[in-house]
Structure 1
Amino acid sequence: MRIELTSIHFQNWKCFQKQSINFDLSTIGSKNIWVVFGDNGYGKTSLLQGILWCLYGVKAIYPDTRQQPKFVTFFNSIAVDNNPNLEMSVTLTFKQDKKNYRITRVAKRLVRGNTISYQQSSLIFSQDGKEKSDVTENIESLLPESCKELFFFDGKKIEEYAKLTHSQETRDAIERVLGIPEIRNLITDIKNVRKEIEKELGDTSIARNDLRKINQELNELQDIVNITEVTKNQTLQELQQEYVILQALKNEARQSDEAESKFGEINSLEKKASNLHKDLEQTLEKIKNAFRQAPVHLLSKLITQVTDETQTKTLISNKQLADVSLLEKLIVHDSCVCGRCIDSETRRYLEKQLEEAKNSRRLYEQAVNSQKLHTELSILCRTPPLNLELLLLQRDRLEEDIADLEQAINKLKLDTDGFDRESVKKIWQKMYQQENVVKQKKDKIERLEKEIEEFRQQESRLQRQRQKLASQNKEAASLSRQSDLACRLYQATDELVRWQIDNSREIIEKHTSEIHQRITNKPEEYKGVKINDDYTLGIKLKSNDIVNPEAINFSPGEKEALAFSFIAGLNQASGKAAPLVMDTPFGHLDPTHKKNIINSLPELPSQVILLATGEDLPQNILEDLAPYIAETHIISRKGDNEFSSVINVQE
C-alpha cells in the first residue's frame, strides 16, 4: 500500500516563519517525482529536518544527547525577536489508500533569565480526523524510526547508509516493514490459548490420575521444547554474528596473505636495490679514475715526447756509468787497451777524469729514476682511455633504476602498513579459531534440531495416549482436540514465520537485484544482489559466486549505488511504498551511476521528492526527468533575508 506525503506546514521552523507545501497527487499514476529546488543555505536541509523532527523528535536530528541543547537555535530568528517565548511546530499529512493521517509536533521556547531552552508542548496523531492515543506506536507502525534512512536520507551521507552490516535494531525495523512481527504476535497468542486449554484440561482430568500424569508429562515436554527452540533461535542469531566475524577475519586474512606476498616482493626488491647500489659504487669509482686519467690522454703527444727524451737521457747516463768503469780499469794498468804505454801526463788526465766521474754520485740514481719514469710513462701511453660518456650514462641509468625500486618498495611498505609476519600469523590463527566456533555453533544447532524432533515425536505419542484416555470424558475429549489443534496451529505458524522471512528476503533480493542491474556501471560483471539472513548484502558475480562487496574493493560510487538499490528494493518489498525524500539526492556519485539512478526513479512505485540544487539536477537531467515530474517547487529568500525563506510552485 503506497504511503504518500500530501502536505507539510512549518510554523516558526528555522528559516520558514509560516510556510505550507502541498503536493498535488492527481498525477501520481503517471508522474511520481516532485522537485524542490533551492540554493545551498536556502532551506532544503531544513525541510528534511522538519519532517524528521515531526515524526521522531530531536533525537532524529541530534542522536547525541549532548548536542540536543543546540535545537533551541531551530526557532525562527525573526519570530523570536518579536516573541522570545514563542511556539514552533511542523505538521505532516499522509495518505494511504483511503486513510488520511495527520501528525503535528509542537515545541515551546523557554527564556528564564539568561538561560534559553525548549520543551515539547504536544505531539498529535490523527487518522481521518480522529486523534489517536499511543502516538509513538502509531508513527512507528506507519514509518518505523529505525528505518527512517529508507524513506528520508541525505545523499551526502549515503556512504554511511552503504555500510553493509546492520544492527539488530535495523533488522527488527526491516521485519516490521515486512509485517513479520504481526505473525510473531500470532504465535504468542496461540501459545497463550494453548496454555489456557492445557490448564482447563488439567482441571478436568484431576479425577483421573493416568490422564493427569500424561498432561503433566506433556506440559513438561512442551516447556522443554520451548526452551530448546529458544536456545536454537539464540544460537542461530549467534551463528549469524559469528559468520559476520568470520567474514571480517577472512577479509583480514586475505589482506594479510597479500601482505605476506608483498613482504616477499619487498625482500626481492631490496636485494636487487642492494646489488644496484654496489654496481653504482663501482661505476662512480671508474668515473673518478676516468677523470684522473683524462689529462694523460689529453697530453699524450707531449708525454710520448718526454718518454723519448727520458729514454735518451737514460742511455747517456748508462754510457757515463760505463766510462767510469773503464777509467778505473785503465788507471791500474801500465798500458792502454791500444798497446801504448800510459805516461805520467796521460795518467794525470785519466785520474782527473775519473775524479770528476766519481764526484757525480747521482748518475746512477738518475739513471734508475729515468728508467722508472720511462716505464711509467710508457704504460700510461699504452693504457686505453675509459669511455667517460658511457660511464656517465650507466651511472644515470643505475640511479634511475634505484629510484624506481625505492619507490616500489615504499609503496609496498605502505600497502603492508600495520602488518608484520607475526600479526599475519595471528590473523590466520584467529580465522581458524573462528571457523571452529562457527562449526561448533552449526553442530549445536543440528543437535538441538534433532532433540526438538525427538521431543516432537514424544509429544505426538503422549497426545495420542491422552486423546485415547480423554475420549472416555466428553469435556476432556473436546479440550484434548482443541489442545492438539492449537499445537498443530503453533507449529504451522512457526513454519509460516520462517517461510515469510525467507520469502520476504527473496522478494527484497529480487527487487534489489533488478534495481542494481539497472544502475550499476558494471552490469557485465554482476548478476545480482544476495540478501543474507542478517540483511547484509552480497554480490552475485556472473560466475554465480557470491562475494562480500568489501572483498572486491567496491568504490564509493558502487557502495552508494548498492545502498540505493537496497533502500529502493526494501521500499518496494514492504508493500507500503513509502515516500522517498532525498536531500542532495546523488551524493558524490560518478556520472554513470548518477545517470542510471536518475533513469530508475520513474520506475519506483513510490512518491519521490528530490531536494536539489541546480548543480544536482542540471538541465540535461531535468529534460530526461520532465515527463515524470509532477511539480517543481522553488525555495527563495524573502527580501534577501537569510532567516526567511519561502517555497512556491513553479508555474
Structure 2
Amino acid sequence: MLHFRKMTLRDFGPYKGEQTIDFTDKSGVTIFWGNNGRGKTTLLNAFRYALFGVIQRRNGVLKSLSEMSNTEAMAEGRYGFSVVLDMTNDNDTYRLTRELALREGVTKPSGEEDYEKILSLNKNGSILSPEGREHELNMIMPEQVARFFLFDAELLQEYEELLETNTSEGDHIKTSIEKILGVPVLQNGVVDIEECLSKYEKQKSRAARDDGKTTQLGQEMDTLTANIDEHQNIIREKQSEQSELIRKKNALEGRMHDTEKLRNWIVERDKAEKNKKKAEDELEEVKANIRELMRGAWRGMLLNTVRGICESIEKKASVLESKRQRKTVAEKFIIEMKKAISDRVCPVCGQDVSDDIIQHLRERIKESTNEYAGLSEAERQSLFEFQAQIGALKRLSEGTEDARFKVAAIEERIDSLELNIGQYKQEIEELRENIERYGEDAEESDVLSISKAYSDVEQTLREVRRGIENETTKLNALKANKEKVAATIDKMAGGDDYRAASRRYELCEHVYKIFEKSKALYRERLKQNVEKDATELFVKLTGDKDYVGLKINDNYGLEIIHRSGRKVPGRSSGYEHVVALSLIGALHMNAPLRGPIIMDSPFGRLDPTHKANIARTLSSMAEQSMLLAYTGEIDDQVARYEIGNKLVHEYQLERVSSMHTEIK
C-alpha cells in the first residue's frame, strides 16, 4: 500500500524557498487550512507533478511548467523549482525527486527551452535506471487511475455521467474505474487472445482460398476482413478524436467555471460602456438643442421691460383709438340725422318728423360736428406708429414663455443624463478593477471566446459520435455477412489444411469466450462489492433514514434507493457530491492498488450535517487521507471532533505576500 511520508517543495508556485511537510508514518487524516488563493490546489498539483510530471488546472494541463516557478524567487535570481516526495509502498521505501532546472550555461531563461526536466527515483537506497524508474512509478500509481486519489471535489459532479448509458464521458470514467479495480488484467488477456484469433482466422481464409471448392468464398472473406479492419481503424481514430474532444470540452468547462465571474464582469463593463456612450450622445444632442434655444434667450431677459413699454404704448394708442372710434360713431349718427331731416321720417321708427324736431336735429348735428372732430393728422400718425410698435414688441416676446419651459425641461434632462453618465463611469471603473485584479493573465478576447469554443467542440463531438455510430452500423453489417460466408465455407471446404486451421481457430475461440465470460463474471462481482461498500458509506454520510442504499448500473453509476424500494430521481448537487464520495471510497476498498486520498475543497456544496458526516467517515475511506479546505468550509472544531484521534496533523497556509505562502 502506498503511503506518503514527507514532501519537500522548493520555489514551487507560491511556496517560496524550501518548505517541508511531514506526514509521518501514521495512518489517518491531515488537514491543510487556507483561504482562496493561498495554494491549496497547488499542493494537489505538487503530488501530481512529482508522480506524473504534469500540472493540472481546471482549464487543462499547464503547457509551460516554468509558469509554476515562484515569482519572488525569480526576481531574486532563482529559476525553476523542485518537488521531493518520500514514500513507502508495501515494504519498499522511495525518494522521488522531480525538478525543473536551468540548462547548463543559462543564467537567465528567455523561454521554456532554457530549462531541463530532471527526474530521479531512489528505491531502498539505490538509484533506479530510467527503465526501472518508469516501471516502478507505474506500479506505485498509474496515471490513468490518479483521478481516484488526487481530485478536486468541484469535479465530483462529472460522476453523474455514469448514470447515463452510451455516453463517451461515462465510458471514459467507467474505463478508469475498471483500471483501478484490476479489470484490465483480464482485458489484456482478451486482447492477446483476440490477436491469436485474428491470426488463425487469416489461416482459415488462406486455406479456403487454396481449396478449389471455396476459392471465391475465401477471396470474399479476405475482402470482408479488409473492410472490417478498415472500419475498425476508422472507429478507433474517431474514438481517439472523441477522447481528445472530451478532454477539450472538460478543459473548456473548467475555463468557463474559472472565468465565469470574469466573463460576467467583461459583459457588464461592455454594457455599461455602451449605455454611457448612448447617454453621452443624447447629452450632446440635448446640449445642441439648448444652444439653439439660447440664441433667443436674450428676449426672455427683456420680457418684463418689453411688457412695461408695450402697456404704456397700448394706453396711448387706446386713447387715440377711442377718439377715432367716437368720430366714426358720430359721423354715422350725423348721416342718420341728416337723412331724417331730408326725408322728414325717423329712420328708426318710421314716424313723421315735425319741424320742432328737425330744428333740434340740426342743432345736434352742429354740436356733434364740433364735439367729435376726430383725429388730427399728427394724431393719426401717432396711432399708426403706436400700433406698429405694439406689433413689434409682441413679436419680440412671442414664444418666450414656451422657450423658458423648454429650457427648464432640457436642463432637467441634462442633469439626469450627467448623473447617469457619472454612475456608468463609476460602474465601469469598478468592473475594470475587478477585471484587472482577477484577469491579469487572461486576454479578454480569449475569455469571451470560451463559450463559442465550447459550443464548437460540442458540435464537433456530436458529429464524431454520429460518425462512430454510422461506422459501427456498417461494421456490424460486414461482420454479419462475414459470419454467413464463414458458415458457407465450413460446409463446402473439405481439405486437410482447412480442417486443421478450423480446429486451431475453434480452440482459440473457446479460450477467448472463457476469458470474456471470466471478465464479465469478475466485473459483476466487483460491481456487487462496490455497490455494497458504497451503500455502507452512503448511509453513514447521509444519515437520512428514508435513503436506505445505492443501486449500481453497468457503468458503475449509483442511484439512491428510497426505503419504499423506488429510485430517487433528480437528486441535488449536494447528494451527487455524497454519492460520488461514496463511490470513490468503495473503489478504494475493492482496488488491488491502495493509496492516499487527497481532496481539494470537498465540502463546498454540503450542509453542516453532511460535512460532519464526511469528516467522521473520511478515515475509513483510505488509510491516509488529506483534506485541503478553505477557512470556513467546515468548522475546525467540528472537523477535529468528528475525525478524533485519526487526525494526524493540521497545517495552515499563511499569506506572506500575494506571491508567497508559508506552510505552518
Change (3 A) 1:448 1:50: closer
**Cα distance, 1:48 vs structure 2:** 1.7
**1:597-640 superposed Cα distances (whole Å, 9 cap, x missing partner):** 122122224421123466435234313323223x31534659x5
Superposed, 1:16-31 pairs within 5 Å as: 16-25=16-25, 27=26, 31=27
**Cα distance, 1:492 vs structure 2:** 2.0
Aligned partners of 2:231 and 2:532: how far apart in 1? 34
Equivalent in 619, 626, 643 of residue 609 of structure 1: 626
Q: Does the CA contact (< 8 Å) of 1:103 and 1:123 recur in 2?
A: no
The answer for the alignment partner of 2:577 in structure 1 is 560
Q: Does the CA contact (< 8 Å) of 1:109 and 1:117 recur in 2?
A: no
The one-letter amino acid paired with 2:10 is Q
Aligned partners of 2:7 and 2:492: how far apart in 1? 65
Aligned partners of 1:458 and 1:488: how far apart in 2? 20
The one-letter amino acid paired with 2:20 is S
The answer for the alignment partner of 1:505 in structure 2 is 527
Q: Does the CA contact (< 8 Å) of 2:102 and 2:115 recur in 1?
A: no
Aligned partners of 1:151 and 1:633: how far apart in 2? 20
The answer for the alignment partner of 1:188 in structure 2 is 191
Change (3 A) 1:603 1:623: same
**1:467-493 superposed Cα distances (whole Å, 9 cap, x missing partner):** x864xx8xx876654332111111222
Same amino acid, percent of matched pairs: 20
The answer for the alignment partner of 2:565 in structure 1 is 544
The answer for the alignment partner of 1:61 in structure 2 is 57
The answer for the alignment partner of 1:357 in structure 2 is none
Equivalent in 25, 31, 34 of residue 30 of structure 2: 34
Equivalent in 57, 74, 82 of residue 80 of structure 1: 74
**1:56-83 superposed Cα distances (whole Å, 9 cap, x missing partner):** 4555126357x756x6553224432332
Superposed, 1:206-245 pairs within 5 Å as: 209=212
The one-letter amino acid paired with 1:545 is R
**1:159-216 superposed Cα distances (whole Å, 9 cap, x missing partner):** 6456545444333322322333343332222122234445567778988646989988
Aligned partners of 2:111 and 2:219: how far apart in 1? 65
Equivalent in 596, 603, 621 of residue 579 of structure 1: 596
**Cα distance, 1:514 vs structure 2:** 1.9
The answer for the alignment partner of 2:8 in structure 1 is 9
The answer for the alignment partner of 2:82 in structure 1 is 89
Aligned partners of 1:487 and 1:125: how far apart in 2? 45
**1:76-126 superposed Cα distances (whole Å, 9 cap, x missing partner):** 244323325x22122334433345555443224699999665766225374
Q: Does the CA contact (< 8 Å) of 2:157 and 2:576 recur in 1?
A: no
Bigger CA drift: 116-125 or 2-11?
A: 116-125
Aligned partners of 2:223 and 2:34: how far apart in 1? 67
Change (3 A) 1:213 1:123: farther
CA RMSD of aligned residues (A): 5.0
**Unmatched tracts of structure 2, length 5 or more:** 163-168, 238-468
Local SS of the residue matching 1:589: coil
The one-letter amino acid paired with 1:173 is S
Equivalent in 121, 124, 131 of residue 119 of structure 2: 124
Superposed, 1:252-401 pairs within 5 Å as: none
The one-letter amino acid paired with 1:107 is L
Local SS of the residue matching 1:546: coil
Q: Does the CA contact (< 8 Å) of 1:530 and 1:539 recur in 2?
A: no
The one-letter amino acid paired with 1:538 is E
The answer for the alignment partner of 2:609 in structure 1 is 592
Bigger CA drift: 567-576 or 165-174?
A: 165-174
The one-letter amino acid paired with 2:6 is S
Aligned partners of 1:448 and 1:114: how far apart in 2? 53
Local SS of the residue matching 1:24: coil
Aligned partners of 1:73 and 1:222: how far apart in 2? 50
Local SS of the residue matching 2:649: strand
Aligned partners of 1:593 and 1:138: how far apart in 2? 38
Aligned residue pairs, count:
424
The one-letter amino acid paired with 2:56 is A
The one-letter amino acid paired with 2:150 is F
Aligned partners of 1:114 and 1:130: how far apart in 2? 30
Change (3 A) 1:170 1:198: closer
Aligned partners of 1:584 and 1:45: how far apart in 2? 9
The answer for the alignment partner of 2:152 in structure 1 is 154
Change (3 A) 1:613 1:229: closer
Q: Does 1:107 align with 2:100?
A: yes
**Unmatched tracts of structure 1, length 5 or more:** 235-440
Local SS of the residue matching 1:491: helix
The one-letter amino acid paired with 2:128 is K
The one-letter amino acid paired with 1:23 is F
The answer for the alignment partner of 1:492 in structure 2 is 514
**Cα distance, 1:453 vs structure 2:** 9.8
Aligned partners of 2:111 and 2:175: how far apart in 1? 38
Q: Does 1:621 align with 2:639?
A: yes
Change (3 A) 1:500 1:580: same
Bigger CA drift: 160-169 or 205-214?
A: 205-214
TM-score, reference length from structure 1: 0.52
Aligned partners of 1:448 and 1:546: how far apart in 2? 37
Aligned partners of 1:75 and 1:227: how far apart in 2? 47
Aligned partners of 2:500 and 2:122: how far apart in 1? 43
Local SS of the residue matching 1:83: coil
Aligned partners of 1:207 and 1:481: how far apart in 2? 17
**Cα distance, 1:559 vs structure 2:** 2.4
Aligned partners of 2:565 and 2:477: how far apart in 1? 32
Change (3 A) 1:146 1:202: closer
**Cα distance, 1:578 vs structure 2:** 2.9
TM-score, reference length from structure 2: 0.51
